[in-house]
Chains A and B, each alone.
Chain A
């Protein structure tokens, strides 16, 4: 009897997914679907929040007041996007505190790209152009993800994020057209950020642990390799346009495929960084943990104040 009921629900769920209907928080969903969507949303939220750090480290050193304001507003958007995503994840009944605790314990991941250091001002350009560019390619496809709150958060995020990539590219443009020193800064930033940006799309489809299931559930709408190709195809001409050279000797236009061919990612480096041994893994996590710990007394004070206020209004009502 119970088994039959379960089967019926599973069929209903499958039908919804097949019909491009969204799954909403109160709907029945398979246990693994819930687990996967939660993992994906929390990882995405953590990425936005940890992603504030590399750029945050240049707020106080931005070269003009206008750049400072833009950078600050962009990083603020990332905080906002983290918040939208935590908010979407919380619809599944897991609190933000629990998600952050999992991050601090190393159980939850965030995008590895943020474990690379932002060394020069040109990195602000490269991050906006390449890292946000790669993220947008992924996020555009996620606007149609099957979990309703996630899809709505993505739509909101994509709307806001369009300025991020443009401001980054524009930083690069100004540098590339500037002095020889500035052009060298831009090229160096591209050299350092290009490969990690390609890594953002994850392992090859064949080696991706979660891809098949996520595609079946329509949580993921396009495969890692397809999205990566899309990103390469749109980015290479942008580099050419400002006279920068991609750090890939194997990069060439393939007339037959109608796509760019490109070299193989250094997968050893990829797995090293994913497993916690990138240049900044420890620093990023330690920063987040410290901010969380430093803020504990503030959050406790808010709570205590609220309780006192409630007790006061209860007394005056009595």
Chain B
């Protein structure tokens, strides 16, 4: 282990109240507390947010490209989950 390499954290910012946290990038820090502080210095220099999440990058479990077929393709043939699937007469409002 390289003692000089600090762990990587992913940073998520809520830009204003009512919105989701969004991934903005990553940074290196010694622990969660410091990662939060650096996130403020690195990603909020122009008041871009009201709330920060930091997550150890190694804790993120990501789907693999090889999973694409089993994960996402089966969802493609279920148009009945979308409102646009249901054709209604134009006179009907507020639906």
Contacts and interface: CB of A to CB of B under 8 A. Distances in A.
Direct contact of A and B (CB under 8 A): yes
Given A84-B25, A299-B6, 17 more contacts: A28-B65, A73-B45, A77-B45, A83-B25, A83-B42, A87-B26, A90-B26, A97-B5, A153-B25, A156-B24, A299-B3, A300-B3, A300-B4, A302-B30, A303-B3, A303-B4, A305-B30
Shortest Cβ-Cβ A-B pairs, 10 listed: A302-B30, A87-B26, A87-B25, A299-B4, A303-B3, A97-B5, A306-B30, A26-B65, A300-B3, A84-B25
Contacts of A28: 65
Contacts of B3: 299-300, 303-304
B24 A95 contact: no
Interface of A: 26-28, 73, 76-77, 80, 83-84, 87-88, 90, 95-97, 153, 156, 160, 296, 299-300, 302-306, 309
Given A88-B25, A306-B31, A27 B6 contact: no
Contacts, number: 49
A116 B44 CA distance: 32
Contacts of A26: 62-65
Given A27-B65, A76-B45, A77-B45, A90 B30 contact: no
Contacts of A309: 31
A95 B30 contact: no
29 contacts: A26-B62, A26-B64, A27-B65, A28-B65, A73-B45, A76-B45, A77-B45, A80-B45, A83-B25, A83-B27, A83-B42, A84-B25, A87-B25, A90-B8, A96-B5, A97-B2, A97-B5, A153-B25, A156-B24, A156-B25, A160-B46, A296-B4, A299-B3, A299-B4, A299-B6, A302-B30, A303-B6, A305-B30, A306-B31
A198 B3 CA distance: 42
A303 B42 CA distance: 21
Contacts of B4: 97, 296, 299-300, 303
Interface residues of B, number: 21
Name the residue in B2, B5, B26, B42 with the highest tally of chain A Cβ atoms < 10 Å from its Cβ: B26
Nearest to B11: A87
B55 to A, nearest CB: 14
Given A87-B25, A97-B2, A309-B31, A80 B46 contact: no
Contacts of A73: 45
Contacts of B2: 97
B14 interface: no
B46 to A, nearest CB: 7
Contacts of B21: none
Interface in B1-54: 2-6, 8, 24-28, 30-31, 34, 42, 45-46
Contacts of B64: 26
Nearest to A84: B25
Contacts of A27: 65
Given A26-B65, A300-B4, A87 B30 contact: no
Nearest to A302: B30
Contacts of B31: 306, 309
A103 B25 CA distance: 22
A80 B30 contact: no
A88 B34 CA distance: 21
Contacts of A77: 45
A157 B28 CA distance: 19
A95 B31 CA distance: 18
Contacts of A300: 3-4
Contacts of A83: 25, 27, 42
A183 B42 CA distance: 37
B11 to A, nearest CB: 9
